[in-house]
Amino acid sequence: MALQLGDEAPNFTADSTDGEITLYDYLGDSWGVLFSHPKDFTPVCTTELGEVARLKGEFDKRKTKVLGVSVDPVSSHKDWVGDIKDATGQALNYPLLGDPDRKIAGLYGMIHPNADNSLTVRSVFVIGPDKKVKLTITYPASTGRNFEEILRVLDSLQLAANYSVSTPVNWKEGDDVIIAPAIPDDEARAKFPKGFRTVKKYLRYTPQPNR
């Protein structure tokens, strides 16, 4: 069965462009983003890896460590690194895992046989500090991911974890958030000193609490 939200993210040890990595040790008490690539030296993957390198400072701000993975070996990854920098202007600044035996792909359900029976699809897994899966997204090989959206989701997940709020449609950093319906108004007034506005008794907006 595919990994579902709330499942424990499978631990593993694998070689990477930064040496051997054990997932749980690498993440420590940080959040994590594990994302897979169909194959080295492919055009869409090259653009994605460069974009994540460009955004690494944004992931760092969110105490989030990133890890790429593909079914090719690390020796191939190291040859690819120069192409990524040439094509995108960004040097790889995070580990890229090798998975030639498909171990990680199998643990995380990254191979979808009806799409391709040997290459990984573009999977994204956000892993919380508790090592539980908080988000899964799967793209086809032909579609590059929007990593700005993944940062937006991280912001939402971290707000939900820390403040008992959720985020409405099209929310972005700085917008109002929604107070959990289980919190009564009296408690909400104490918990959210910036105040709130009630649209329905189950829909109450408050300014983003960590700004």
Q: Which of 149, 209, 204, 202 is nearest to 174 (CA)?
A: 209
Chain centroid to CA 62:
11
Beta strands 31-37 and 64-70 are parallel
Over residues 78-107, the pLDDT tens digits come to 999 999 999 999 999 999 999 999 899 889
Domain 13-144 falls under CATH 1.10.1370.40 = no
CATH superfamily ID and name for 164-206:
Antioxidant, Horf6; Chain A, domain2 (3.30.1020.10)
**Mean pLDDT (whole number) for 102-121:** 72
- Cα Rg of the chain (Å, integer): 19
75 belongs to the catalytic site? no
Which stretch of DSSP H or E encloses residue 137? strand 133-139
Confidence of residue 2 (pLDDT cuts 50, 70, 90): confident
Please state the domain extents for the chain: 13-144, 164-206
Q: Catalytic one among 45, 66, 97, 177?
A: 45
Over residues 163-205, the pLDDT tens digits come to 999 999 999 999 999 999 999 999 999 999 999 999 999 999 9
Q: Rounded to two decimals, what is the model's pTM?
A: 0.92
Beta strands 13-14 and 21-22 are antiparallel
